[in-house]
A = this chain, B = another copy of it.
Amino acid sequence: MTDPQAATDPQAPDPQAPTAPQAPADRPDTRPGPDDPYLIISSDCHAGLPTEEYRPYLEARFHRAFDTFLGERDARRAAATRLGIRNEAFAARWFQDHEEGLRGGWDPAQRLKELDGDGVAAEVVFPDADAVDSGTAAPFGVGLGLSGDQDPDLGMAGAQAHNRWLADFVSGHPERHCGVALLPVTADTGRVVAEIHRAKESGLGALMIPSMWVDKEPYHDRRYDPVWAAAAECAMPVLTHSGAAPRHEYGDHLGIYVSEVTWWPARPLWFLLWSGVFERHPGLRFGVAESGCWWLPNLLWFMDRLYLGAHGGKKLSPFAALKRPPHEYLDRQVFVCATNTKRRELAQRYEIGVDNILWGSDFPHPEGTWPDTRGWLTKTFHDIPVAETRRMLGLSAAEAFGFDTARLAPLARRIGPTPADLGQSADQPAVEASWARSREVGRHWLTDHDFPVLGAQ
């Protein structure tokens, strides 16, 4: 913690919280057996203070601007209601039904209870716990709405306030949380790099950048190279998360917003890739959160074909910034926090890359799986091979975000659902065999097949 103000944090974790991992581990080999409970890591959860409580984490010189920001809350709520993102009737019921659990958005003890109840051993913590009423928006709109055209001073102040609080929030059980620092990357590069190091030292583990640079330099610009280098050096994955979009273009048509809100956070991926950022920074990892992964196979097919020389390529220049085809960078450095994965997406996992798909519960957002994560997982994963399920539900996230699986193993064994709990068959060779053709075809454009084969046979 670098901010002494935050030492007064009223939300200090309860040492008696029910989910503190039990040591020593009850067996030395932490590799799961075939029937062992899953180690579940949600790659997309949310936490944030009720907005007014961010004040102690904010430098005093911004308090006046903060008062102004608070005063504009009603106008923001009205705008969200107008677009239909906010629905009065639903909001009232949601808060009534889940009053206690929703406090887990900012109360660490309550949060661990909710994670345990859902079988989730660890989580990646994005901002904005309250997706219904924006009651926990970070100061100055730097939460999920983080945008490239943010005022640089206010943006950095708001981000640091949230980052300070979040570092406190995750400090009670650091093995269970990877806090995502807000990074207003379009601000002064020196300050941005300094904030990366400060966030790392404070105990945070990843960085969220705006999906949209708006009027600032796009992410292919070399001015960002020091930022990517610092992120790689600190082993902090860089993430975008759905939320921001050009809402001024949508009128009051919610369907338009929802139809493209996942495109904007995905967009930086091809800006980074084609401009050689992954080539120049092989240690950089980049993730796209809560945008699904249904769009990735088409994108990869499209980009690989372009690179490998499709028919249309005969009038195109070579792609000098890349030394290898797009899918190799993807497999090496990119992942998707796909949140509540859909059956259609799982059917495409051999194109996406099983190891590139990171499940998430989206706790405590209503579009997520909480508080019925077991039910959702059963519905979605019942016929997926257990070995692949282990990757998607936790092991890949552990690698991407640096969770200590050995330390989490005892907890997972206590709270995690077993394969049988998810309706998965004990006859795994048969399950594996049912997907053999789909797995063999894989990325059909690389395996000389006409088209993908989806689903079990």
Check if B263 sits within 8 Å of A306, measured CB to CB: no
CB distance from A303 to the nearest CB of B (A): 6
Complex Cα–Cα for A91 and B367 (A): 51
Check if A220 sits within 8 Å of B250, measured CB to CB: yes
Check if A451 sits within 8 Å of B444, measured CB to CB: no
Q: Given contacts A90-B315, A270-B255, A317-B84, is CB(A343)–CB(B450) below 8 Å? A: yes
Chain B contacts for A220, CB-based, 8 A: 250-251, 253, 256
| A28-36, A160-168, A294-302, A416-424 - interface stretch | A294-302
Chain B contacts for A317, CB-based, 8 A: 84, 87, 254
Chain B minimum-CB-distance residue to A311 = B367
> Interface readout for A429-446 with B: 1 if CB under 8 Å, 0 if not?
000000000000000110
Complex Cα–Cα for A366 and B314 (A): 8
Chain B contacts for A255, CB-based, 8 A: 270, 273-274, 303, 306-307, 319, 322
**Identical copies in the complex:** 2
Check if A453 sits within 8 Å of B455, measured CB to CB: yes
The reply on A454 being an interface residue by CB < 8 A is yes
CB distance from A307 to the nearest CB of B (A): 7
Chain B contacts for A254, CB-based, 8 A: 274, 316-317, 319
Check if B344 sits within 8 Å of A452, measured CB to CB: yes
Residue among B250, B274, B295, B451 making CB contact with A347, cutoff 8 Å: B451
Check if B298 sits within 8 Å of A298, measured CB to CB: yes
The reply on A402 being an interface residue by CB < 8 A is no
Check if A260 sits within 8 Å of B256, measured CB to CB: no
The reply on A259 being an interface residue by CB < 8 A is yes
A65-89: which have CB < 8 Å to B?
Answer: 84-87
Residue among B90, B253, B315, B450 making CB contact with A91, cutoff 8 Å: B315
Q: Given contacts A91-B315, A455-B450, is CB(A321)–CB(B367) below 8 Å? A: no
Complex Cα–Cα for A295 and B255 (A): 17
Check if A84 sits within 8 Å of B316, measured CB to CB: yes
Chain B minimum-CB-distance residue to A345 = B451
A329-377: which have CB < 8 Å to B?
Answer: 340, 343-344, 346-348, 366-367
Chain B minimum-CB-distance residue to A348 = B451
Check if B251 sits within 8 Å of A218, measured CB to CB: yes
Complex Cα–Cα for A340 and B321 (A): 28
Complex Cα–Cα for A312 and B255 (A): 13
The reply on A399 being an interface residue by CB < 8 A is no
Chain B minimum-CB-distance residue to A307 = B255
Chain B contacts for A191, CB-based, 8 A: none
CB distance from A40 to the nearest CB of B (A): 19
Some 20 contacts from A to B, beta carbons below 8 A apart, are: A84-B316, A84-B317, A87-B317, A131-B315, A218-B249, A218-B250, A220-B251, A220-B256, A253-B271, A255-B319, A259-B270, A260-B267, A295-B298, A298-B298, A312-B367, A314-B367, A343-B450, A452-B454, A453-B454, A454-B454
Residues of A within 8 A of B (CB): 84-87, 90-91, 94, 131-132, 218, 220-221, 249-251, 253-256, 258-260, 263, 267, 270-271, 273-275, 294-295, 298-299, 301-303, 306-307, 311-312, 314-317, 319, 321-322, 340, 343-344, 346-348, 366-367, 444-445, 450-455
